[in-house]
Amino acid sequence: MLPCSHILPIPRTVRQNATQYNTTCNTPCNNATQDRVRDEGAVFTRAYTAGPKCAPARYSILTGRYCSLAEYAQDVGQTSATRTYVEVPSCKLNGTAELAGTVPQVLKGLGYATIVSGKYHILNGGDWDDYDTTIASIQEAGFSDDGGTWYTNMGSTSLEFSHNLEYAVNKSLNAVAAALDVGQPFFLYFAATAPHAPIMQTALEFSMLATPEGTLMEAPTTTMPDRGTISGRISGASGRSERSIALGTVWFDDAVGAILDHLEGKRGVLDDTIVITYMDHGMAAKDSLYEGGIRIAHAVRYPKFIQGGTVLDDIVSSMDFGSTIFEVVGVDASSLTGTSWWGLVTGEGRNAPAAIVSEISLDRAVVAKHFKLLSSESGDTTDNYPASGEVIQLYNLDEDPTEQTNLAASNDHAGILTQMMAYLACHVASTLPKGEDSCDLTTMNELDLEE
């Protein structure tokens, strides 16, 4: 059984130029480590998040299911008679059956050390600095080891600790080393919050001794460059917010680099490790279903099976992670909603769905090869999109990647609109609370969504 490492970068800085979603940095900064994963593996140029906010995205990755199917969302998050409400408060892991089927829980049952680091954010209850509750929660979800974890977004005032990537890397690698020393495969979910708030300028001034579990007796040791050098490695970032993003992106890249260095140089297992990078959402239109919110950076490195420099334009979703890993380790993934992309990156082929869905609030998007349907019941509006707020929107992403022209009323596109509305209706019916209605999305794969 191969060691399987899931590295989960959340740099939140993907360039939102419509043709450049396969890059991971929009500021003049050193992003060499994440570029290495892309250059030595496969990059997905049309990767999407199942929900353009941290908790919906992370729920989909760790469960292989939509947040609208979450037990907690269906119990307490329902605010509409027609759709399940999807947001940060409702995307929680809850209930015995749901917790038993998470990716880390299944891998732990196969003998993996399962390690989590960074913001967890999908368990019900707790506070950002409640370390004991955090540990109990991650263990309940199947994680065997704490790699430096906190429950949710850090408080903005009276911080006891802040982003401490040296601590997170050191603790994660100690857990990895303990597993490898006894011949145990490992799964590392590294979900650091940098460059998320609190602002990086302040975080970098914190002591490396300040951690979620209290004050350390000794500073963590890593191969990361001194954090004092980060400021000198960025240029052109103007303004406090932009500079914070640049600082956090470089700091995070240093952290991932130290993890890869350890696996490669010290342990000699990097090429036996699947390294997967994701963002949880885009930043140009976060919390919306436009491309600037749901299009994400996503790459995978595994040289024994994946040719370096591979570029794939097939549509994939963050929800596909669980199905992919289950296929790799030989576990039945029929209970998951996603579709494995393993055959896609290895050249063996993939039975892809006709479309993927992304959800936030009461809004839903259906993304197919050329067209995208956006259906809004929330009434929310988003800057830079002329049709924002209209209930039904249809876009030709090939011709209009920035979604400026709503084709929903065009007679020329009535056929594709009807087909995509049918797909949407099936998704909504299949995710209603308590099984009030049902529809098998696999039956929708016969639809012609390419026009």
Residue 12 belongs to a domain = no
CA–CA distance, 5 with 20 (Å, rounded to integer) = 27
pLDDT score for 239: 81
How long a stretch of residues is the chain? Answer: 451
Greater confidence (4 vs 274) lies with 274
Inform me whether the pLDDT recorded for 9 exceeds 60. no
| Shared-domain flag, residues 160 and 293 | yes
Half-sphere exposure of 230 (CA within 13 A, CB side): 26
pLDDT band at 241 (very low <50, low <70, confident <90, very high): confident
**Has residue 95 been placed in a domain?**
yes
Cut 0.85: pTM above it: yes
- Same domain assignment for residues 282 and 393: no
Residue 16 lies inside a defined structural domain of this protein: no
- Given a contact cutoff of 8 angstroms between Cβ atoms, the answer to whether 263 and 269 are in contact is yes
Question: Do the domain assignments include residue 24?
Answer: no
- Domain check: are 262 and 382 in the same one? no
Q: Mean pLDDT over residues 260-273, rounded?
A: 94
- The C-alpha atoms of residue 179 and residue 275 are separated, in whole angstroms, by 17
Percent of the chain with pLDDT over 90: 61
pLDDT reported for residue 6: 41
Report the distance separating Cα 83 and Cα 68, nearest Å. 8
**DSSP 8-state code for residue 285:** T
Residues 279 and 370 in one domain: no
Query: What is the average pLDDT across 25-51?
Result: 78
178 and 306 part of one domain: yes
Distances in whole angstroms, Cα of residue 31 to Cα of each of 37, 108, 148, 293 = 11, 32, 23, 21
> Domain of 279?
32-346
Write down the pLDDT at residue 437. Answer: 63
pLDDT tens column, 362-379: 999 999 999 999 999 888
Residue 367, domain CATH:
3.30.1120.10
Per-residue HEC secondary structure of 221-242 comes to CCCCCCHHHCHHHECCCCCHHH
- The sign of the torsion formed by the CA atoms of 410, 412, 415, 416 equals negative
> Among candidates 363, 355, 373, which has minimal Cα distance to 414?
373
Torsion sign over Cα 113, 53, 87, 395: negative
Q: How confident is the model at residue 445 (pLDDT cuts 50, 70, 90)?
A: confident
What residues does 93 pair with on adjacent strands? 123
> Is the bond preceding 3 in cis, omega lying within 30 degrees of 0?
no
Among 306, 323, 346, the domain-final residue is 346
pLDDT at 447: 73
What pLDDT was estimated at residue 218?
Answer: 94
How confident is residue 321, by pLDDT bands cut at 50, 70 and 90? very high
For the chain, give the mean pLDDT. 87
Whether residue 351 is contained in a domain is answered as: no
pLDDT score, position 35: 84
54 in the same domain as 188:
yes
Question: 317 and 382 share a domain?
Answer: no
| Residue 186 and residue 136 in contact, taking contact as beta carbons nearer than 8 Å | no
Amino acid 157: pLDDT: 65
State the DSSP H helix or E strand holding residue 277, giving kind and residue range, or none if neither: strand 275-278
Tell me, what's the pLDDT at 20? Answer: 35
Q: Kindly tell me the burial class for residue 253, based on how many C-beta atoms sit within 10 Å of its own C-beta (0-12, 13-18, 19 or more).
A: buried
Residue 15 lies in a domain: no
**Domain assignment present for 8:** no
Domains: count for the chain: 2
- Domain end, chosen from 287, 318, 346, is at 346
- pLDDT greater at residue 9 or residue 393: 393
pLDDT tens digits along 109-168: 999 999 999 988 887 777 788 899 999 999 999 999 999 998 888 876 678 899 999 999
Q: Could you tell me which of 69, 132, 121, 64 has the C-alpha nearest to residue 95? A: 69
What contacts 294, CB < 8 A, 6 or more positions away?
48, 49, 52, 281, 282, 288, 358, 365, 367
Q: Is there a single domain that holds both residue 322 and residue 364?
A: no
Q: Give yes or no: residues 36 and 88 share one domain.
A: yes
Is residue 224 predicted with pLDDT exceeding 70? yes
Q: Given this model, what pLDDT does residue 267 score?
A: 95
Domain boundary at 346, 373, 398, which?
346
* Residue 293 sits in the same domain as residue 408: no
Give the per-residue pLDDT at 314: 94
Give residue 327's pLDDT: 95
**Average pLDDT, stretch 189-202?**
90
Same structural domain, 56 and 175: yes
Mean pLDDT for the stretch of residues 411-432: 93
Question: Token pair of 382, please?
Answer: 């988003």
Tell me the two tokens of residue 332.
Answer: 């039945």
- Do 370 and 322 share a domain, yes or no? no
With respect to residue 399, please indicate whether it lies within any of the assigned structural domains.
yes
Q: Distances from the Cα of 343 to the Cαs of 93, 190, 347, 368, 421, in angstroms? A: 29, 25, 6, 20, 29
